[in-house]
Each structure stands twice: as C-alpha cells, then as structure tokens.
Amino acid sequence: MEAPQYVAARVQQAMAEDGRTHELGIRVDIRGDQLFLRGEVSGTGQRERLGQVAHEAAPELHLHNEIKVVEASEPGEDERLD
C-alpha cells in the first residue's frame, strides 16, 4: 500500500493539473482509508468537481468532501474611516 503522503500528493497534483479544477488551495488529509478535502472555493460546482477529481485520483479511499463554499460577493463601497 502507498504511503499516505504520496497518495495526498497525488490527489493534490490531480486537483491542480486537472482541466476541470485547477485548484491549489485545498488541503488533503489521509487517515487510514479516509480521504479528507478541506478548504474554500467560490462555488458548489467547483466543490463537486474537486471531489470527483480526488476520487478518480484515489478511488480506493472513502472521500469526505469538507470543502466550504464561500459566496464571492461584489466589492462594496469603500469603507470610510473618520
């Protein structure tokens, strides 16, 4: 069986290089046969694609997609400090 750090590196590389995701800021943790994805993305579609890419990179592991979706809001008015 592959060492967990190698599997994690493979999953992170897949998420960074896959044309569907191109995501660098996701943390990959492996505990036993469990694969945890953690981080933040700006849409549910991206979260689902990351889970899919991670599963394809390590199909032998049970995936826990704990990535949070943060809504990217429009920049508001400048805050004024008096």
Does residue 79 fall inside a structural domain? no
Give the pLDDT of residue 75.
Answer: 63
Per-residue confidence (pLDDT) for residue 81, from 0 to 100: 72
Residue 65 lies in a domain: yes
Q: Taking the model in full, what pTM does it have?
A: 0.83
What pLDDT sits at residue 71? Answer: 79
pLDDT of residue 77: 59
> Does residue 77 lie within any of the structural domains?
no
Range of the domain at 26: 4-69
Low-confidence ranges of the chain (pLDDT < 50): none
Do the domain assignments include residue 74? no
Neighbours of 51 (CB within 10 A): 19
Using alpha carbons only, give the angle 18, 19, 23 rounded to the nearest 5 degrees. Answer: 60
Nearest one of 16, 14, 30 to 64, comparing CA atoms: 30
pLDDT at residue 2, as a whole number? 81
